[in-house]
Amino acid sequence: MGFPDRPAWRAAPAACARHRVSVVRYDDDEAAQLPRVAPNAVVEILSPGDLKRDVAEKTRVYLAAGADVVFIVDTIRKTVTAHSAEGVRKFAEAEVLTHRPLLGFSLPVERVFAKPRPRPKG
């Protein structure tokens, strides 16, 4: 579902009900250069082939568009780095991820990297 002059918003209903997760998707590269709508928080999960300069550029674009914070998840080092107007802070696996503008948000970083539990059958 989207609006003609806005990017499409997509979200899994179960995820939204519990976590209020949404994804902004742009249909063309030109529109993605500077998003017209910025989420409060962006989560970027690093892939093995990601270049530092590309991740830095994505972070810059999201912050310039108005995102409060960009969380960079490094699955190899098991860290989450928060980038915002307040600066940059790296959270280790033993810490609790928080960000002042996201009132009431806290997440033990170890949970980000925990293996999912199998769902009960039946």
Domains and their CATH numbers in the chain: 1-37 (no CATH), 38-122 (3.90.1570.10)
Residue 48 has, within 13 A of its CA and on its CB side, a CA count of: 0
Total Cβ atoms within 10 A of residue 82? 20
Q: Which tokens go with 30?
A: 């030109």
- Of 20, 74, 65, nearest to 47 by C-alpha is 74
pLDDT at 76: 93
Residue 24 predicted with pLDDT over 60: no
pTM: 0.69
Comparing 27 with 17, the larger pLDDT belongs to 27
Residue 15 predicted with pLDDT over 70: no
**Helix segments in 27-98, DSSP class H:** 29-32, 52-65
pLDDT (tens digit per residue) in 54-91: 999 999 988 988 899 999 999 999 999 999 998 999 99
CB 91 within 8 A of CB 30: no
